[in-house]
């Protein structure tokens, strides 16, 4: 007995020691982080150039944790509004002489990229310069950087300029081969989230919608580039069709670039703008100096309510939309007398119908007390559109992916696989429908009929919500619904969106509706992490993901994630047809 007591005491002592050492380590890390931040003060002198590199992810909402421990393991990311505010402050900052764009990749969505580009166009009205340099231009980077007065690339560089494409995977043959399938119940001829499980090729309806939104986005991009590079849309399409920027020489000959030079030569060019060695200030550092916000002493506020990520049932955080955090935030906004209006920023492909409806209800109550304006980001589709449709005004970027007013349900079924492996499932129940659905048995007609009834009910509710919010008839909404995906530019024409504009435009509209001219913004929801949540950001938590990527390759890993994601969907879904990967 004494032996076991000693073992137990030893284990307990070791555990306590580990906890104490861990906490002491956190304390030391906090001191180190504080010391480093104090010693690395950013100096914005009179010969400064703002350096923009968007390799880190740009998110609509990137709240910072108050915990020094969390800050040590937070991934580097930009909040879109901070990027926009920094460029605005740089425009009026006498110490900033110009901007140097040094992107290799732009880790932002197309609509976010367009918003940043528009702000850079506005920056140029100050008379300050913008230049760009990189080893090679990806298509999205070229679109953003084309706003520059001069564009350079390394001599062996190139410009990816080929038009847009999107790829879909189909699993019908895979399912038949392995006996694992997804049972599908849907409404909407365009609801192609589930098409990959029903066929081995793309339907005409799906091809139509993909072609439509790709052409709409592409036309928007090349129209902007045409203005900046003094070219016609026809010339740009000819260049894309024939890959006439596939090396630096051809890109320069076709007036898509201004020179092919090395980085040290580019740095010499920058010196000519300031008359001395320039003080390069990174976008991150400039934001850290406080330039990521527009200062205001106003008491009136406009709440920015961020709905970012998949809509799931649960708590919610900065990566997904849950009803708990959203409802809590909406009620706090409603009860705050200093908040005069609300801008709901939606960047979501949708998700669980129940969660979307619970959020819709709270927004409907809020709208009766305060003006509600929606700003759509990269995506505001299906469930993302559902929570937006009752706003007083809806803003979208021309390249926003929206609509997708349709409903579906998917359930995995292993009955054929089980049969092939010699597995037989038997059920015992007290009532006719007590068993419900078993993944080891084929779906019964009764279960299908009941589930289909639920899908139809949700679709009817969805269309009615949109009809009421958009002042349209059921038939008018149904004609542009059926799961069809639209760009913001197209959605203006069919009545799903009111105005083309960015988030700042939406904020100004909210202020006008609230009849206020002096105001500041405040962001919601406010997230608090539990202690165990902090460990989710540990570097070793991503080891499994990195190993899978390395073994399978990026494309196969994406396919695996998509199949896994669809198989985990629970309940009736208002979700974008699929993860739209525009290349």
User: 400 with 506, same domain?
Assistant: yes
Residues 371-412 pLDDT 10s: 999 999 999 999 999 999 999 999 999 999 999 998 887 788
To the nearest whole percent, how much of the chain has pLDDT over 90? 60
Q: Residues 131, 99: one domain? A: yes
- Structural contact between residues 217 and 399, judged by C-beta atoms closer than 8 angstroms: yes
Q: Are residues 272 and 384 in the same domain?
A: no
Whether residue 406 sits in one domain with residue 258: no
Report how far residue 120's alpha carbon sits from residue 99's, in angstroms, rounded to the nearest whole number: 9
Q: In angstroms, how far is CA 356 from the centroid of its own chain?
A: 18
Q: Calculate the average pLDDT of the chain.
A: 85
- The whole domain housing 78 covers 48-162+243-291
Quote the DSSP letter at residue 501.
Answer: -
- Residue 182 in any domain: the answer is no
Domain membership of residue 29 (yes or no) is no
Integer Cα distance of 128 and 150 in angstroms? 13
The answer to which of 51-55, 92-96, 113-117, 436-440 has the lowest mean pLDDT is 436-440
Number of domains within the chain: 2
Q: What is the CATH number of the domain that holds 527?
A: 3.90.226.10
CB-facing half-sphere around the CA of 577: CA atoms within 13 A: 31
What amino acid positions are annotated as catalytic residues?
Answer: 191, 382
369 and 286 share a domain? no
The residue behind tokens 């016609």 is: 232
In a domain, 4, yes or no: no
Same domain, 275 and 373: no
Same domain, 485 and 534: yes
Dihedral angle sign, alpha carbons of residues 269, 54, 139, 485: negative
| Same-domain status, 541 and 489 | yes
Of residues 208 and 225, more confidently modeled = 225
Does residue 374 belong to any structural domain of this protein? yes
Instruction: Give pLDDT, residue 536.
Output: 52
Lowest-confidence segment of 77-81, 152-156, 213-217, 420-424 by average pLDDT: 420-424
Name which of 204-218, 291-305, 412-426 the model is least confident about. Answer: 412-426
Going from the C-alpha of 567 to that of each of 181, 348, 544, the distances in angstroms are 10, 19, 20
Q: Report, as an integer, the average pLDDT of 285-313.
A: 93
Same domain, 404 and 259: no
Kindly tell me if the per-residue pLDDT of 178 is higher than 80. no
DSSP string, 362-413: HHHHHHTTS-EEEEEEEEEETHHHHTTTTSSEEEE-TT-EEE---EEEEEEE
In a shared domain, residues 363 and 509 = yes
| Whole-number Å distance between alpha carbons of 71 and 300 | 31
Which strand (E) or helix (H) includes residue 50?
strand 48-52
Token output for 336 = 């705050």
* Peptide linkage before 525 cis (omega within 30 of 0): yes
- The string of pLDDT tens digits covering residues 550-574 is 666 655 655 555 555 555 555 677 7
Are residues 398 and 271 located together in one domain of the fold? no
CA distance 515 to 268: 51
pLDDT value at 69 more than 60: no
Residue 194, pLDDT score:
73
312 and 258 belong to one structural domain = no
Q: What is the pLDDT of residue 343?
A: 98
**Mean pLDDT value of segment 228-246:** 97
Within a domain: 174:
no
**Single residue among 235, 258, 291 that ends a domain in this structure:** 291
CA atoms within 13 A of residue 130's CA, in its CB half-sphere: 23
């Amino acid at each position: 007995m004494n032996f076991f007591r000693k073992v137990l005491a030893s284990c307990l002592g070791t555990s306590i020691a580990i906890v104490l050492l861990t906490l002491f380590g956190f304390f030391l890390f906090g001191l180190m982080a504080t010391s480093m931040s104090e010693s690395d003060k950013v100096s914005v002198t009179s010969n400064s150039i703002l350096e923009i590199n968007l390799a880190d992810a740009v998110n609509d909402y990137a709240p910072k944790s108050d915990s020094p421990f969390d800050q040590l393991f937070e991934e580097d990311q930009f909040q879109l509004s901070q990027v926009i505010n920094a460029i605005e402050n740089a425009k009026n900052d006498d110490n900033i002489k110009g901007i140097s764009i040094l992107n290799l990749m732009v880790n932002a969505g197309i609509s976010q990229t367009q918003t940043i580009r528009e702000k850079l166009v506005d920056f140029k009205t100050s008379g300050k310069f913008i230049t760009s340099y990189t080893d090679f231009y990806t298509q999205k980077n070229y679109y953003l950087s084309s706003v520059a007065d001069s564009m350079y690339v390394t001599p062996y560089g190139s410009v990816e300029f080929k038009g847009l494409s999107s790829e879909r995977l189909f699993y019908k043959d895979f399912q038949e081969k392995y006996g694992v399938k997804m049972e599908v119940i849907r409404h909407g001829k365009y609801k192609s989230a589930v098409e990959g499980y029903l066929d081995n090729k793309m339907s005409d309806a799906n091809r139509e919608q993909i072609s439509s939104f790709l052409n709409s986005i592409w036309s928007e991009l090349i129209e902007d580039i045409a203005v900046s590079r003094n070219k016609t849309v026809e010339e740009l399409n000819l260049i894309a069709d024939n890959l006439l920027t596939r090396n630096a020489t051809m890109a320069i000959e076709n007036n898509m670039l201004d020179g092919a030079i090395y980085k040290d030569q580019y740095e010499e060019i920058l010196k000519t703008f300031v008359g001395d060695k320039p003080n390069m200030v990174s976008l991150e550092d400039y934001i850290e100096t406080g330039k990521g916000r527009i200062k205001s002493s106003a008491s009136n506020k406009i709440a920015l309510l961020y709905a970012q990520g998949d809509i799931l049932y649960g708590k919610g955080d900065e990566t997904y939309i849950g009803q708990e955090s959203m409802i809590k935030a909406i009620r706090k906004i409603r009860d705050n007398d200093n908040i005069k209006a609300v801008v709901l920023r939606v960047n979501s492909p949708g998700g669980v119908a129940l969660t979307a409806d619970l959020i819709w209800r709270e927004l409907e109550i809020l709208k009766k007390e305060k003006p509600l304006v929606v700003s759509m980001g990269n995506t505001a589709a299906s469930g993302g559109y559902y929570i937006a449709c009752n706003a007083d005004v809806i803003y979208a970027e021309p390249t926003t992916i929206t609509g997708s007013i349709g409903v579906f349900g998917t359930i995995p079924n292993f009955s054929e696989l089980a049969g092939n492996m010699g597995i037989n499932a038997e059920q015992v129940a007290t009532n006719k429908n007590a068993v419900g659905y078993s993944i080891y048995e084929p779906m019964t007609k009764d279960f299908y009929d009941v589930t289909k009834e639920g899908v139809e009910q949700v679709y009817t509710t969805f269309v009615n919500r949109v009809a009421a919010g958009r002042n349209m008839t059921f038939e008018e909404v149904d004609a542009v619904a059926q799961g069809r995906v639209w760009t913001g530019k197209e959605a203006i024409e069919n009545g799903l969106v009111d105005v083309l504009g960015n988030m700042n435009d939406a904020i100004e509209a909210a202020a006008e509706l609230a009849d206020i001219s002096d105001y500041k913004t405040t962001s919601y929801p406010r997230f608090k992490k539990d202690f165990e949540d902090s460990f989710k950001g540990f570097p070793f938590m991503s080891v499994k993901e990195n190993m899978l990527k390395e073994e399978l390759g990026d494309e196969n890993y994406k396919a695996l994630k998509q199949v896994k994601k669809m198989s985990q969907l629970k309940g009736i879904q208002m979700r974008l047809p699929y993860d739209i990967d525009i290349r």
